[in-house]
């Protein structure tokens, strides 16, 4: 099965052999567009998509009207619905035109057929295994380094944005599309509080009035894995979460500074606006990209009416509350070794 899926393209193979997965992915996307008309249309439609910007104190939130995302935004992710559908990330259920690049023997690089980014990839495990960050965090770091020339990589937890909570996967899209990629330093300087720093890792807590999140910056993979695992164990013990503590993670890598991991712990997946009827309804199903500063509205009525007040209300409900964030900060300060 795997053999049938893998892309046969000399240029892609040459780039992969040189460990240049970023360029390989770019060439691969172009080649998929030439043989997969629906995919090409999806990317073409992004060119005429409507976007508006809201300026907050020190950062930007973009709102993207993206009708193609309706399937994902309204996806039923309860256990029963998941059990009853065919897993769309399993090899045998991929669309016939879909090909993939094999990554480190157990992942694929696939083109996302419902793009938010101009270059949008899904990075699934080749096996049907649960969406869990514990045990796969090192893969997130590898992907993010190997794709870093052009792309940011992200993870959506099974209960806060992953539309395949039963199949392990990450995603990636072009760098600087999410305002956070460019604005992070500014936001950290204005709203950040350093929790721990040594010569290997720098951990901060940031509350910009909309988002509360933790940043972990390091050139050392082993240090990041160690801290993340300790952090994860703390969250799990403290909040007794079902499946896994709700979180979205953005991973940005640069040769000079190494990894920048942003962890957005969540209170809820969908705010009350999602469930309202009539005028008050706003269909936003926030995940990593929204945390990064691009809110996706698949319905035009929401795009037209959404206000900065609505954006504040939505984040207030879905992001970890102030009290719990204080507990998280204390937890990080107490991590052994720090």
Least spacing, CB of residue 171 vs Zn ion, in Å = 15
User: Percent helix, strand, coil in the chain (nearest 5)?
Assistant: 40, 25, 35
Least spacing, CB of residue 91 vs Zn ion, in Å = 8
Q: Is the CB of 93 or the CB of 257 nearer to Zn ion?
A: 93
Least spacing, CB of residue 158 vs Zn ion, in Å = 13
Q: Is the CB of 128 or the CB of 132 nearer to Zn ion?
A: 128
Report the sign of the C-alpha dihedral through residues 23, 27, 30, 35, in that order.
negative
> What stretches of the chain adopt beta strand conformation (E)?
50-56, 59-65, 101-103, 107-111, 120-124, 151-156, 169-174, 192-197, 201-207, 212-218, 247-254, 258-265, 294-297
Q: Is the CB of 121 or the CB of 259 nearer to Zn ion?
A: 121
Q: Is the CB of 145 or the CB of 167 nearer to Zn ion?
A: 167
Strand order in the sheet with 59-65: 50-56, 59-65, 294-297
User: Are 228 and 129 in contact, with CB atoms under 8 Å apart?
Assistant: no
User: Are 273 and 226 in contact, with CB atoms under 8 Å apart?
Assistant: no
Q: Is the CB of 89 or the CB of 246 nearer to Zn ion?
A: 89
Q: Is the CB of 49 or the CB of 87 nearer to Zn ion?
A: 87
Q: Is the CB of 33 or the CB of 128 nearer to Zn ion?
A: 128
The number of beta carbons lying within 10 Å of the beta carbon of residue 174 is 16
Report the sign of the C-alpha dihedral through residues 315, 320, 323, 325, in that order.
negative
Task: Provide the binding-site residues for Zn ion, judged by CB under 5 A.
Answer: 87, 89-90, 128, 167
| Tokens of residue 246, six digits | 């709700």
Least spacing, CB of residue 94 vs Zn ion, in Å = 10
Least spacing, CB of residue 192 vs Zn ion, in Å = 38
Report the sign of the C-alpha dihedral through residues 294, 297, 301, 307, in that order.
negative
User: Are 123 and 108 in contact, with CB atoms under 8 Å apart?
Assistant: yes
Least spacing, CB of residue 159 vs Zn ion, in Å = 17
Least spacing, CB of residue 131 vs Zn ion, in Å = 10
User: Which residue of this chain has its Cβ atom nearest to Zn ion in the complex?
Assistant: 87
User: Are 190 and 208 in contact, with CB atoms under 8 Å apart?
Assistant: yes
Measured CA distances, 5 to 72, 73, 94, 95, 100 (Å): 23, 27, 9, 10, 6
For tokens 């992001």, the residue is: 319
Least spacing, CB of residue 89 vs Zn ion, in Å = 5
DSSP string, 268-321: -SS-HHHH--GGG-------HHHHTTEEEESSHHHHHH--HHHHHHHHHHHBPP
Least spacing, CB of residue 306 vs Zn ion, in Å = 34
Q: Is the CB of 108 or the CB of 250 nearer to Zn ion?
A: 108
Q: Is the CB of 131 or the CB of 288 nearer to Zn ion?
A: 131
């Amino acid at each position: 099965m795997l053999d049938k899926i893998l892309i046969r393209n000399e240029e892609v193979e040459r780039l992969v052999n040189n460990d240049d997965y970023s360029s390989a992915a770019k060439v691969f996307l172009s080649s998929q567009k030439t043989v997969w008309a629906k995919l090409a249309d999806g990317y073409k439609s992004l060119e005429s998509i409507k976007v508006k910007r809201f300026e907050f104190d020190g950062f930007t939130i973009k709102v993207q009207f993206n009708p193609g995302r309706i399937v994902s935004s309204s996806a039923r992710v309860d256990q029963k619905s998941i059990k009853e559908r065919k897993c769309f990330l399993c090899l045998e259920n991929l669309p016939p035109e879909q090909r993939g690049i094999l990554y480190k023997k157990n992942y694929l690089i696939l083109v996302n057929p419902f793009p938010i980014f101009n270059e949008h990839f899904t990075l699934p495990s080749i096996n049907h295994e649960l969406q869990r960050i514990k045990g796969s965090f090192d893969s997130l770091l590898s992907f993010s380094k190997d794709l870093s020339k052009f792309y940011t990589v992200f993870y959506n937890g099974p209960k806060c944005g992953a539309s395949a909570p039963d199949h392990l996967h990450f995603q990636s899209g072009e760098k600087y599309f999410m305002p956070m990629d460019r604005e992070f330093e500014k936001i950290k300087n204005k709203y950040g509080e350093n929790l721990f720093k040594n010569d290997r890792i720098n951990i901060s807590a940031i509350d910009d009035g909309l988002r509360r999140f933790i940043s972990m910056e390091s050139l050392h993979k082993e240090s990041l894995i160690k801290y993340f695992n300790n952090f994860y164990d703390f969250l799990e013990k403290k909040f007794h979460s079902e499946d896994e503590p709700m979180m979205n993670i953005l991973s940005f890598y640069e040769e000079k500074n190494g990894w920048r991991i942003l962890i957005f712990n969540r209170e809820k997946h969908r705010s009350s606006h999602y469930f309202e009827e009539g005028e008050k309804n706003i269909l936003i199903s926030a995940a990593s990209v929204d945390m990064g500063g691009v809110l996706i509205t698949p319905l035009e009525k929401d795009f037209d009416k959404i206000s900065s007040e609505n954006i504040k209300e939505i984040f207030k409900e879905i992001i970890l509350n102030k009290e719990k964030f204080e507990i998280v900060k204390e937890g990080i300060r107490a991590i052994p070794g720090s």
